[in-house]
């Protein structure tokens, strides 16, 4: 196994007789069972592990937790005082030059600029609404967004993987076409131009495969880096889960809108800032923001639900089409063995099946992405603007 990125900038000493494992997880050993730690520390990525891997090994999340340790006892007055202290420090160091000084103009300009900076800091102190809790909400929101992003990257990885399969199948088809054109040319039934065109199609297909392989590797590396592995680690990407249609059937949009409002990070942040606000102007602004966010969150949940239902319909149609093509391919296989259809006719049926298979895979991933979007809309990431 490969050593995951040492996120805290520390070194890990590993016995030569042992295999390296992920190091410096955020949580103590007792946070998970030994079996759970083993799965998190192996070199196979399962879709269900993404949230825990982000929490334990993502560099941004770890650094935010380190920073928060120094902020967790700060209240709004403490944060405001930091602004005042910085402003007073600038005030104490402002000096105006003598009028006969050769650099009088630039000196006055610099002093005025520093004075404006100090005034701006004083204003931030007066209008401050942040404390340790608002910062924690922000850090939690960042972590949630990273989990959603990593889930999306894994879905993208498999989309590209299946697309690469299609590109390779396409190359095989154009190679057959090229061979056919060569045979036809030898029989005087084709032209050199047609043979050359078929050969160019092979080159184009090969270029597409190289591009697809490059994109797939880039996605894989980005995903693994997000989850704590070092660049180039040999990580096995696990299979995607099957869409849980019963979960979709059980959705109550009205109930989920209420949950989305309660969970929403942006809304929780606004609510807490409103509690901390001392300025009447700031309170009025945040009150209006809070109202707007309620409406925006409800709208976003409804929109993501509509997208989810549409994705489910497309998925089910693709599955039905695949079943029909599977039946047709089985029939064509028997007919080919019996000699009642030509090889070309069989290949046409086989190509139709392959196309239906690609579509089914694509629609499955699209449905999983729609489920991710809806789950996170309810789980705290619904757009609040």
Q: Is the pLDDT of residue 58 over 90?
A: yes
What is the model's pLDDT at position 21? Answer: 42
What is the model's pLDDT at position 103? Answer: 81
Q: Is the pLDDT of residue 94 over 70?
A: yes
Cα(150)–Cα(304) distance, integer angstroms: 19
Question: Could you give the angle at the alpha carbon of 146 between the alpha carbons of 79 and 262, nearest 5°?
Answer: 65
SS (H, E, C) 263-306: HCHHHHHHHHHHHHCCCHHHHHHHHHHHHHHHHHHHHHHHHHHH
Question: 286-300 pLDDT, tens per residue?
Answer: 999 999 999 999 999
The arithmetic mean of pLDDT across residues 255-266, rounded, is 98
Q: Is the pLDDT of residue 2 over 50?
A: no
Contacts of 259 (CB under 8 A, 6+ apart): 378
pLDDT class for 137, splitting at 50, 70, 90? very high
What is the model's pLDDT at position 134? Answer: 94
The arithmetic mean of pLDDT across residues 215-236, rounded, is 94
- 13-17, 103-107, 124-128, 269-273, range with the lowest pLDDT: 13-17
CB 239 within 8 A of CB 275: no
What is the model's pLDDT at position 237? Answer: 96
Angle of helix 132-186 relative to helix 343-376, nearest 10 degrees? Answer: 170
Contacts of 194 (CB under 8 A, 6+ apart): 181, 184, 185
Residue in the structure block whose two tokens are 């959705």: 251
H or E element at residue 161: helix 132-186
H or E element at residue 196: helix 192-226
Q: Is the pLDDT of residue 37 over 60?
A: yes
SS3 342: coil
The arithmetic mean of pLDDT across residues 35-56, rounded, is 95
The dihedral formed by the CA atoms of 109, 112, 117 and 118, expressed in degrees to the nearest 10: 150
What is the model's pLDDT at position 170? Answer: 87
If you compute the radius of gyration of the chain from its CA atoms, what whole number of angstroms results? 30
What is the model's pLDDT at position 17? Answer: 32
pLDDT class for 18, splitting at 50, 70, 90? very low
What is the model's pLDDT at position 6? Answer: 37
What is the model's pLDDT at position 5? Answer: 40
SS3 44: strand
Element counts in the chain: helices (H) and strands (E): 12, 2
Cα dihedral sign for 150, 376, 360, 211?
A: negative
Which two tokens mark 27? 């949580």
The CA-atom distances, in angstroms, between 345 and each of 299, 322, 326 are 51, 18, 15
Q: Which is more confident, 13 or 330?
A: 330
The average confidence (pLDDT) of the chain is: 90
Question: 107-134 pLDDT, tens per residue?
Answer: 888 888 988 998 888 888 777 788 899 9
Question: 359-380 pLDDT, tens per residue?
Answer: 999 999 999 999 999 999 999 9
Which two tokens mark 5? 């990125």
SS3 311: helix
pLDDT class for 320, splitting at 50, 70, 90? very high
Question: 153-180 pLDDT, tens per residue?
Answer: 999 999 999 999 889 988 988 998 899 9
What is the model's pLDDT at position 12? Answer: 33
Q: Is the pLDDT of residue 347 over 90?
A: no
What is the model's pLDDT at position 175? Answer: 92
The percent of residues above 90 in pLDDT, for the chain, comes to 69
What is the model's pLDDT at position 122? Answer: 84
pLDDT class for 10, splitting at 50, 70, 90? very low
Contacts of 120 (CB under 8 A, 6+ apart): none
């Amino acid at each position: 196994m490969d050593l995951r990125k040492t996120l805290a900038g520390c070194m890990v000493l590993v016995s030569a007789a042992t295999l390296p494992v992920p190091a410096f997880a955020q949580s103590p050993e007792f946070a998970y069972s030994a079996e759970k730690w083993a799965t998190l520390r192996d070199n196979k990525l399962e879709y269900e592990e993404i949230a825990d891997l982000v929490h334990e090994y993502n560099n941004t999340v770890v650094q935010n937790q380190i920073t928060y340790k120094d902020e967790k006892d700060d209240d709004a007055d403490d944060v405001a005082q930091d602004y005042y202290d910085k402003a007073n420090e600038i005030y104490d160091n402002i000096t105006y030059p003598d009028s006969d000084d050769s650099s009088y103009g630039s000196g006055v300009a610099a002093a005025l600029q520093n004075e404006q900076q100090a005034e701006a800091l004083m204003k931030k102190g007066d209008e401050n609404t942040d404390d340790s809790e608002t910062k924690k909400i922000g850090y939690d929101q960042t972590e949630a967004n990273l989990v959603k992003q990593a889930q999306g990257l894994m879905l993208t990885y498999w989309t590209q993987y299946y697309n690469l399969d299609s590109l390779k199948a396409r190359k095989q088809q154009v190679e057959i076409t090229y061979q056919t054109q060569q045979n036809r040319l030898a029989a005087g039934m084709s032209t050199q131009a047609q043979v050359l065109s078929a050969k160019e199609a092979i080159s184009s297909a090969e270029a597409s495969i190289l591009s697809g392989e490059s994109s797939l590797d880039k996605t894989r590396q980005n995903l693994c880096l997000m989850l704590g592995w070092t660049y180039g680690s040999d990580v096995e990407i696990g299979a995607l889960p099957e869409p849980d249609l019963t979960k979709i059937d059980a959705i109550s949009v009205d109930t989920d809108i209420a949950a989305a409002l309660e969970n929403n990070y942006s809304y929780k942040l606004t609510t807490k800032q409103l509690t901390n606000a001392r300025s009447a102007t700031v309170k009025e602004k945040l009150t209006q923001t809070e109202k707007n966010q309620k409406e925006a969150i409800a709208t976003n949940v409804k929109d993501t639900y509509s997208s989810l239902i549409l994705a489910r319909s497309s998925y089910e149609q693709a599955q039905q089409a695949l079943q029909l093509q599977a039946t047709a391919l089985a029939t064509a296989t028997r007919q080919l063995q019996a000699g009642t259809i030509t090889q070309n006719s069989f290949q046409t049926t086989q190509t139709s099946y392959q196309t239906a298979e690609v579509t089914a895979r694509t629609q499955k991933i699209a449905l999983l992405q729609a489920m991710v979007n809806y789950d996170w809309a309810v789980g705290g990431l619904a757009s609040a603007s």
